[in-house]
Amino acid sequence: MDDRVIIRFDHVTKQYDDDLPVLDDVSFEMERGKFYTLLGPSGCGKTTILRLIAGFIEPTKGDIYFHGKRMNNVPANKRQVNTVFQDYALFPHLNVFENVAFGLRIKKVPKVDIERKVKEALRFVNLEGYEQRAIHEMSGGQRQRVAIARAIVNEPDVLLLDEPLSALDLKLRTEMQYELRELQRRLGITFIFVTHDQEEALAMSDEIFVLNKGKIEQRGTPKDIYDEPVNRFVADFIGESNIITGTMIDDFVVEFANQRFTCIDRGFAKNEQVDIVIRPEDLELTTVERGKLRVRVDSVLFRGVHYELCCYDAYGNEWLVHSTKKAEIGEEIGLHFEPEAIHVMKRNGGE
Amino acid sequence: MRRYAYAIPYWLWIGLFVVAPIILIIYYSFFDIEGHFSLVNYQTFFTPVYLRMTVNSFWYAFLITACSLLIAYPTAYLLTKTKHKQLWLLLIILPTWVNLLLKAYAFLGLFGTYGAVNALFETIGIGTKQLLFTDFSFVFVSVYIFIPFMILPIFNALEKLNPSLIDASRDLGASEWTTFRRVIFPLTLDGVKAGCQAVFIPSLSLFMLTRLIAGNRVITLGTAVEQHFLVTQNWGMGATIAVFLMIAMAGIMALTGNRKWGVRQ
């Protein structure tokens, strides 16, 4: 077996009582030293995967392997995994130093080493000099850093992060995204990051798992997922997009909006019904004569970086366009796009 | 100054039912049995008889509090884990609505020579035992009566505890016992303190149970106060003991409740 694999899920199902399974027969592998993101709407099972890895819950069916060893019944305190919790879960009765030292004290690390390691961990997260502070004296961002320091000081093989940025304001969140990514590179350990924010996932990850209803819909690099979503759910969840139904006439020829277009997809059955995705930023505003599509502008929103135009074609399809050019409401415009911009997906399912 | 007007009922209440009785008790404590002003009561309090009684009271109050805590903490902990915790909690609180005297009499029936407990002992072959009028039965019944007051604050403290703190502790390598010792217990200490206050202070001045259940074998300061006021009619001495009881209670409050008067969070 490949020894780069650090975590393996083998047909894992988690079910509470007789409810629908939260996690439904999931199998995957994760490699050492990568930044993984579990992305999905609430209730999709992403936190369940995290809790299974941490050891807070046990799978109903299936096996979990760490370094090739089955870990199903190993309790949380015996796993080489540490977690940064959504609410940070810092101990309110201990100061910053003692919070970070907690894991080391339990492992009976010599006092001198504790002192050194805690200082080092706090320097890592830019919190030098805060050792004696009480937790309630720290701001949200600082608490976040303490939580990270408390986890990494134990030198885990895997660091689990459960929506750790969701409680921060936008500016701080963006800042922490950079810092987390940087931290992962410096430490070289596996990060598993749970979020429902697709921008966060795209910005930080080596690989993204998109989850829905207890199943992995797609896994791949941010670019894969963004450019080649396998189905409507992924395309919709990963970013704003135009999803319309169409027919695959032949290899490299697709029909939608009552017109035929050249595309770069193939391997579908003749005349198969498909979903078409075109990203709003791939649509280019042009004159009616030069456009491949002819649409009428319904609304215009100024978004700062670009205008967001909502248009309708003659067949009632909605087209979202991101453009730096402005158009008037009610105006007839043309839309131009490249063959590469057309992403063809099978109806309800994988590619 | 309407704000002060609203406070009048409060101050009236405090004045009539808290301050005035305390002043009265202190006033009475300076009169001997013939009604002459003197400090003789205070002298008497420091004689071996009363000092032993004081030690006794503290000892039994301590025993009752310790036993209650030992039973109440695990009970409260299990209670937070059960499905219908509000129902279970209600069942625990329910007995406090029954009059103390009735409960004491119920135990007289249960623990008596021909009571249910002895009948059970007889059938399983242990034989009839003297249960009533022993230290054991006194502590047992007192614990039974006070335990809801210990469970409630501990239960509340455990309920307020953020469950992800327990996950965090386990995640950082702590076993269940270490998690309890280093996280759960320290964070519920306020509940424990409140519970100890609610049990220790009233059990310091218990009087009726000492007579009914312990058959006057246990003589505490509470019993002494009752006897002086009702039997010997030595109000001065009774008031003096009451003064010392109040001092002791204030001391305990200060010791266990430091959070409330200390630095605000």
Q: Is residue A18 part of a domain?
A: yes
Domains, chain B, ordered by start: 60-220 (1.10.3720.10)
Residue that is last in its domain, among A196, A227, A258: A227
The DSSP call for residue A351 is: -
Out of B172, B175, B187, the one facing A102 most closely (by C-beta) is: B172
Half-sphere exposure of B185 (CA within 13 A, CB side): 11
* Domain of residue A27, CATH code: 3.40.50.300
Residue among B168, B178, B265 minimizing CB distance to A85: B168
- In angstroms, the separation between the Cα of residue B179 and the nearest Cα of chain A is 10
User: What is the DSSP secondary-structure string of A82-127?
Assistant: EEE-TT----TTSBHHHHHHHHHHHTT--HHHHHHHHHHHHHHTT-
Cβ B222 vs Cβ B57: under 8 Å: yes
B interface test, pick of A50, A74, A85, A194 with most B CB neighbours within 10 Å: A85
A167 in the same domain as A270: no
Kindly report which listed range (A29-33, A221-225, B90-94, B108-112) carries the lowest average pLDDT score. Answer: B108-112
Q: For residues B15 and B30, what is the distance between their CA atoms, to the nearest angstrom? A: 21
For B22-40, the pLDDT digits (tens) are 999 999 999 888 888 888 8
Of B161, B171, B175, which to mutate for an interface test with A (greatest number of A Cβ within 10 Å)? B171
A42 and A177 within one domain: yes
Average model confidence (pLDDT) across chain A: 90
Write the CATH number for A261: 2.40.50.140
- Residues A173, A49, single domain; the answer is yes
Q: How many CB atoms are located within 10 Å of the residue A313 CB? A: 18
Residue by residue, DSSP assigns A222-282 as HHHHHHS-SSHHHHHHHS--EEEEEEEEETTEEEETTEEEE-S---PPTTEEEEEEE-GGG
Please tell me whether residues A26 and A94 are part of one structural domain.
Answer: yes
CB contact under 8 A, A76 and B187: no
Q: Chain A interface, mutation test: which of B164, B169, B170, B172, most A Cβ atoms within 10 Å?
A: B172
What pLDDT is attached to residue B1?
62
Q: Which of A74, A42, A80 is nearest to A57 (CA)?
A: A74
Q: Find chain A residues with C-beta within 8 A of B186's C-beta.
A: 93
- Residues from A contacting B (CB-CB < 8 Å) are 54-56, 75-78, 81-83, 85-87, 89-93, 102-103, 106-107, 136, 150-151, 154
Q: Cβ–Cβ of A56/B170 closer than 8 Å? A: yes
Per residue in A52-83, pLDDT (tens digit) is 999 999 999 999 999 989 998 899 999 999 99
What's the complex ipTM?
0.81
Q: Give pLDDT, residue B265.
A: 37
pLDDT, tens only, A277-297: 898 989 998 888 888 889 999
Question: Does the beta-carbon distance from B171 to A102 stay under 8 Å?
Answer: no
Domain tally, chain A: 2
Which of A82, A86, A90 comes nearest B171 by C-beta?
Answer: A82
Nearest Cβ partner for B172 among A56, A93, A106: A106
pLDDT at A12 over 90: yes
pLDDT at B108: 87
Pair A191, A161: CB distance under 8 Å: yes
Among left, alpha and beta (phi > 0; psi -120 to 50; other), residue B217 is alpha
Residues A307 and A211 in one domain: no
Do both A195 and A85 map to the same domain? yes
Chain A positions in Cβ-Cβ contact with residue B265 (cut-off 8 Å)? 136
Residue B248: count of CB within 10 angstroms of its CB: 19
For residues A26 and A106, membership in a common domain is answered with yes
A245 and A175 share a domain?
A: no
Query: A221 with A253, same domain?
Result: no
pLDDT 10s digits, B88-123:
999 998 988 988 889 888 888 888 888 888 888 888
Please name the helix (run of DSSP H) or strand (run of DSSP E) that holds residue A320, with its range, or none. strand A318-323
| A275 shares a domain with A216 | no
The residue assigned the tokens 């009582």 is A17
B 139-168: CB under 8 A from A: 162, 164-165, 167-168
Could you tell me if A218 and A342 lie in one domain? no
Q: Which residues of chain B have pLDDT under 70?
A: 1, 258-265
Asked whether the beta carbons of residue B167 and residue A93 sit closer than 8 angstroms, the reply is no
CB contact under 8 A, A136 and B265: yes
Q: Is A144 exposed, middle or buried (0-12, 13-18, 19+ CB in 10 A)?
A: buried
CB–CB of A56 and B187 under 8 A? Answer: no
The DSSP annotation for B192-242 comes to HHHHHHHHHHHHHT--HHHHHTTTTSS--HHHHHHHHHHTS--HHHHHHHH
Nearest CB among A78, A89, A92 relative to B167 is that of A89
Instruction: Of A260-264, A347-351, B64-68, B200-204, give the range with the top mean pLDDT.
Output: B64-68
Q: Is A177 helix (H, G, I), strand (E, B) or coil?
A: helix
CA distance A43 to A26: 15
Which of B164, B173, B265 minimises the CB distance to A87?
A: B164
Find the domain containing A306 and state its range: 240-346
B14 DSSP assignment: H
Claim to verify: residue A121 and residue A88 sit in the same structural domain: yes
Q: What pLDDT score does A38 carry?
A: 95
